[in-house]
Structure 1
Amino acid sequence: MMEMRKSLRGRGVRVRMSRNRLLRRAIEAVAAKRPGLEKLADAFRKEQLALLSGDGSPFTISSLLKAAETMAPARGGEVASADIVVEKGATPFPAGPIVGEFQQAGFPAAIEKGQIVIRKRHVAVAEGDTISAQVAAALTKLEIYPIAMGMELLGAYDGQNFYPPEILDIDYDEFHSQLQSAAVGAFNLAMHTRWFSSATMVPLLVKARTEALAVAKAAVWPSEETISALLAEAHRQMLGVASHAGDGAD
């Protein structure tokens, strides 16, 4: 926790901790002048709470909290927040009694060529199940640390609006991908409807020029742009006729 507080402080986020009852009273006292702030007190839980303040937006602070999370070994008794998987492959352990510990924990462990291996991919603990002490010890030996250590954001207030955690939980990679997809879709629609803008002006003019040249060539319309292509086509047709007639003309 100290390392996390230090990391957040370096990014302009201050962490204040006190008794939950005192924090609630402080928020409720200020909420009279700041409508919406009372929702922050409504999000309180029985666990130890902290108040974070900073100049960044709630979304920025939410991202900082996620980045500050670390993974810790299980001790037993925790509930798995996601499937805990032991992958197939060799372990760093040579043949020895530790293979029995893995097997007792339910892992498909065996000895091959003097090395302990996991013979197939194994879900050690399913999401929502409790991690036993035996499984926790085996996971730690394999350096599988399934417990996320950090601060859980219960809500945020920016001076005007309250943001519940589900709104702040944004997958920025997915969001960026959606923005790119939307931009491509909007560009294609604008091109299809011939909507002129700074982004479509040049490609629309290029497309119009290409189509106009194609029509002019099909109609055999001589112009500065088409004359070379028309003469080349006429020459090609002349050679074809001459060859077919067998007069030997070049």
Structure 2
Amino acid sequence: MVQEWKLKKVKELTEEIEKSPVVGMLDLDGLGAAQLQQMRKDTRDSAKIIVTKKTVITRAIDNSKKENIKDLNNQKSHIPALIISKDNAFKLYKRIDNSKSEAYAKAGNIAPMDITVPAGETNLPPGPVISDLQKAGLKAMIKGNKIAIREDSLLVKEGEEISEIKANVMMKLDIKPMEVGLNILAVHEENMVFSKETLAIDTEQYITDLQTAYTQGFNLAYNADIFIKEIMPQKIQEAQRNAMNLAINAEIANKETITPIIQKSNSEMQSLASQLPKDARGSATIIQQNTAPAEQPKQEPEKKEEEKPKSDEEAASGLGALFG
């Protein structure tokens, strides 16, 4: 027969789960009582940690009507606990993960990384401790009034179980390879369960990926002529440049194109004249750019005056056809 207090506790916890937008499953394995109290204190403004019997947690989750929340019970937790919050799942995970602190290793812990002892002097005075260092595999020696390590030494490989002698040596050398804090296994929010791997994103890399995606999307829309507000200013500028180039190459003269047309014609004339021998150039004279001879306007004044009205009409007609 189920004890009454347990039924009451299941009911209370189920109500907590129902009214909380974000519910996470924790594993408190390796976390001491004092550290748990500190974590509760540090997170009390944004989250609530609920520690109770595993069966109570399991039944409360099973009783919840939230979609997919039962997936939290599939998480492998040695010492389960719940955390509830109004923060979104990713913000909650980051806040909890950032609150972790360094700690000394204990015998039986699994090394989270390669643990290396660098060469050089230690803070340890000569004494029996040198024997412990040597037993742990370190090349230790006495140097003056300190113990020194002869060369960089790999003490424990990543994934290897830490022995008692090596844990003691790391403590003496003030090496803290472990992280102490709440371990979030999964979080339920808006009918979805996010795993630890999903929540543990690199914020800086995520922002870089978003920026890259935006740039690629922009380029795709631009090159495919998908007219959205983000690309319209550049598209209008491109159309303006293309229209100007078309008008210049088609010699459609107006107030915007007449100067570049004249410059283009002058450049072509200069290029052609420079290819002819001097005695074949006739009256053509090679001049510097933007330098107009004073005598030339007398040679063809009437032609320019006769062609001007016609050029304005052609300009209006040409640009009208170009822009509809």
Q: Shorter chain as normaliser: what TM range?
A: 0.7 to 0.9
TM-score by length of 1: 0.78
Of residues 232, 236, 255 in structure 2, which corresponds to 1:205?
236
Corresponding position: 1:181 with 2:208? no
1:180/1:140 CA distance change after superposition, 3 Å: farther
Say if 2:103 and 2:180, in contact at 8 Å, map to a contact too: yes
In 2, Cα distance between the equivalents of 1:112 and 1:211?
Answer: 78
**1:7 shift after superposition:** 1.3
What runs of 5+ residues in structure 1 fail to find an aligned partner? none
**1:204 shift after superposition:** 1.4
**Structure with bigger gyration radius:** 2
1:20/1:226 CA distance change after superposition, 3 Å: same
Aligned match of 2:79: 48
Aligned residues: 244
Aligned match of 1:73: 104
Aligned match of 1:13: 47
1:78/1:242 CA distance change after superposition, 3 Å: closer
TM-score by length of 2: 0.62
**1:74 shift after superposition:** 1.0
Corresponding position: 1:38 with 2:73? no
Aligned match of 2:200: 169
1:82-122 per-residue CA deviation (whole Å, 9 max, x = no partner) reads: 33344x565564995677755543346678999846745x5
In 1, Cα distance between the equivalents of 2:144 and 2:263?
Answer: 75
1:91/1:173 CA distance change after superposition, 3 Å: farther
1:119-159 per-residue CA deviation (whole Å, 9 max, x = no partner) reads: 45x54322211122333344344443211111222332336
1:179/1:242 CA distance change after superposition, 3 Å: closer
Aligned match of 1:131: 162
Mean Cα deviation higher: 207-216 or 107-116? 107-116
Aligned match of 2:38: 3
Between the two proteins, what is the percent identity of the paired residues? 23
**1:38 shift after superposition:** 3.0
In 1, Cα distance between the equivalents of 2:173 and 2:73?
Answer: 41
* 2:71 maps to amino acid: K
Say if 2:141 and 2:149, in contact at 8 Å, map to a contact too: yes
* 2:53 maps to amino acid: R
What runs of 5+ residues in structure 2 fail to find an aligned partner? 1-35, 288-324
In 1, Cα distance between the equivalents of 2:222 and 2:141?
Answer: 62
Aligned match of 1:154: 185
Aligned match of 1:25: 59
Q: Aligned with 1:14: secondary structure?
A: strand
Provide the alpha-carbon RMSD of the alignment: 3.4
In 1, Cα distance between the equivalents of 2:220 and 2:140?
Answer: 56
